[in-house]
Amino acid sequence: GDGVSGDALRDRLAEVEHYALGDYLTALNSGLEQGGKLASGRVSELTGLPLELVQRNFARIPTGLFAKEFQRATGKVL
């Protein structure tokens, strides 16, 4: 499949957690608009969501939106 598993998954999750607890929190702390600008590119990269969608939500992606959009590219919209 196309998924990530094993050591690669653990490494990727550690990278995401490090970002979420560091630079992402710092960006969000700078305010809604500025934080969104600072974090949108990396959030888009880490989640696989389109940059425009992430920017429109100021890099704050509610769980429901993520679930709905995650597989849109494959035609599987929840």
- Confirm whether 57 is domain-assigned: yes
Q: Within a 13 Å sphere around the CA of 34, how many CA atoms are in the beta-carbon half? A: 6
pTM of the predicted model, to two decimals? 0.81
- Confirm whether 54 is domain-assigned: yes
Number of domain units in the chain: 1
- Confirm whether 1 is domain-assigned: no
Report angle CA 67, 1, 40 to the nearest 5 degrees: 40
Tens-place pLDDT, residues 45-75: 999 899 999 999 999 999 999 988 887 766 7
Host domain of residue 57: 6-74
CA gap 42, 78 in Å, rounded: 24
